[in-house]
């Protein structure tokens, strides 16, 4: 339903010179600096998917989203949403799109929140009963009731983001593009927004593309993640297999009831896995009755590890810590 083929975006910015008359000179001399923000990206998103779009600052995420929503026109390549070009058929495509830019509100700054909704409803031709129904629904899901009458500029960031999300959904689009909707929010506000997004996807079947710096957003919401690095996709697949691909170790801590015995050959070291052993694991600490090891779950089945550890003594407790997704991502960036 969303099809992106080999899109590129080049920005030409005039070079500003220093010195007297410099401003004037830039008007006449045509010196530009070229920046290729997006360098040939292709992907498809099916109906009902929830896809994370992540990458370091300046990688080209926002530029991509602007091309998908028709705000920017690709220098080359094609975008199609539901079979239409967001650039050529902007009005039609926009009817089926909701967009939230976390850094910039689409609400009218000085007006009470509710007035923005009235304006948007009229802009999108949402009829009164539908509008009422949806606003009641959003008020409940996003807890908007308490600030309907407050001017947008007086809202907290969390309130504003909730209002922006509801506004983006007012015309009931099938597709939602979110550019950092949780930026700067506290834990509570983030949780609210995540819950809402999750319901939009699972209950209402919305297709969502989410840009965020918060890896918890990705882990909790997305099955699939695309990583953009310096204008190009460096990964497109499930969150799960991204973890596996990177292969950071899982830390397992076992506590034994009474004595235990670590067999010959397993040494305590923080270095690489012991390659000659049948099960490659790394003992990183032994303390009283607990042994902490690192294993690569891509290489070894969890059950095999537990069976092995159970041979060393009588297990009382097992704790397993998968690698932090933040660390996994750090390896891809
Ligand atoms: P991200 O959202 O991943 O942080 P952006 O898509 O905003 O990255 O920007 C990608 C690159 O393109 C950056 O180097 C940025 O400075 C540049 N860029 C973005 N918008 C413009 C613009 N309007 N004019 C010139 N350069 C731009
Ligand atoms: Mg951005």
CA of 58 to the centre of ligand 1 (A): 6
CB 210 within 8 A of CB 18: no
* Nearest ligand to the C-alpha atom of residue 34: 1
Residue with tokens 């308490």, as numbered in its chain: 146
Q: What is the CATH architecture assignment of 248-332? A: 2-Layer Sandwich (3.30)
Cβ of residue 58 lying under 6 Å from some atom of ligand 1: yes
Task: Quote the Cα angle for 188-194-195, to 5°.
Answer: 90
The pLDDT of residue 96 is: 94
The pLDDT of residue 280 is: 76
> What tokens appear for 86 in the block?
């967001």
Cβ of residue 63 lying under 6 Å from some atom of ligand 1: yes
The pLDDT of residue 330 is: 85
pLDDT digits (tens, 9 = 90+) for 199-246: 999 999 999 999 999 999 999 999 999 999 999 999 999 998 888 888
Look at ligand 1, atom 23, and give the residue with the nearest C-alpha.
11
The pLDDT of residue 332 is: 84
Cβ of residue 23 lying under 6 Å from some atom of ligand 1: no
The pLDDT of residue 175 is: 97
Look at ligand 1, atom 25, and give the residue with the nearest C-alpha.
11
> What tokens appear for 125 in the block?
């031709």
Locate CATH 3.40.50.300 in the chain.
46-244
Q: For the domain bounded by 46-244, which CATH number is listed?
A: 3.40.50.300
Which parts of the chain have pLDDT scores under 70? 17-30, 268-278
Locate CATH 3.30.70 in the chain.
248-332
* Nearest ligand to the C-alpha atom of residue 36: 1
- Please, what is the average pLDDT of the chain? 90
Cβ of residue 173 lying under 6 Å from some atom of ligand 1: no
* Nearest ligand to the C-alpha atom of residue 101: 2
Cβ of residue 102 lying under 6 Å from some atom of ligand 1: no
Look at ligand 1, atom 20, and give the residue with the nearest C-alpha.
63
* CA of 38, closest atom in ligand 1: 10
Give the β-pairing of 282-287 and 313-321: unpaired
Global confidence as pTM: 0.85
Residue from 8, 11, 72 whose mutation best tests the ligand 1 pocket (most atoms within 8 A of CB): 11
The pLDDT of residue 214 is: 92
């Amino acid at each position: 339903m969303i099809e992106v083929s080999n899109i590129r975006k080049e920005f030409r910015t005039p070079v500003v010179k220093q010195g007297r008359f410099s401003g004037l000179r830039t008007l006449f001399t045509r010196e530009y600096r070229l920046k290729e923000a997006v360098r040939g990206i292709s992907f498809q998103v099916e109906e009902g998917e929830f896809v994370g779009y992540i990458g370091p600052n300046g990688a080209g995420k926002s530029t991509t989203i602007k091309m998908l929503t028709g705000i920017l026109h690709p220098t080359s390549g094609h975008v199609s949403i539901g079979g239409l070009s967001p650039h050529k058929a902007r009005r039609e495509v926009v009817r089926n799109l909701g967009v939230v830019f976390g850094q910039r509100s689409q609400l009218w700054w000085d007006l009470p929140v509710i007035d923005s909704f009235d304006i948007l409803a009229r802009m999108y031709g949402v009829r009164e009963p539908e509008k009422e129904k949806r606003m009641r629904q959003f008020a409940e899901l996003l807890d908007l009731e308490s600030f309907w009458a407050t001017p947008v500029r007086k809202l907290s960031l969390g309130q504003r983001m909730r209002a922006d999300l509801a506004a983006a959904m007012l015309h009931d689009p099938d597709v939602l593009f979110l550019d950092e909707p949780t930026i700067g929010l506290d834990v509570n506000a983030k949780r609210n927004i995540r819950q809402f997004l999750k319901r939009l996807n699972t209950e209402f079947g919305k297709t969502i593309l989410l840009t965020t710096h918060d890896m918890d957003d990705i882990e909790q919401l997305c099955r699939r993640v695309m990583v953009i690095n310096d204008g190009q996709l460096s990964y497109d697949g499930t969150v799960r297999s991204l973890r596996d691909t990177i292969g950071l170790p899982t830390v397992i801590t076992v506590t034994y009831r009474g004595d235990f015995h670590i067999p010959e050959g397993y040494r305590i070291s923080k270095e690489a896995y012991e390659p000659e052993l049948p099960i490659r694991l790394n003992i990183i600490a032994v303390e009283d009755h607990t042994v902490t090891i690192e294993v690569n779950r891509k290489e070894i089945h969890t059950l095999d590890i537990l069976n092995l550890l159970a041979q060393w003594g009588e297990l009382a407790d097992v704790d397993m810590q998968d690698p932090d997704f933040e660390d996994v991502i750090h390896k891809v960036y």
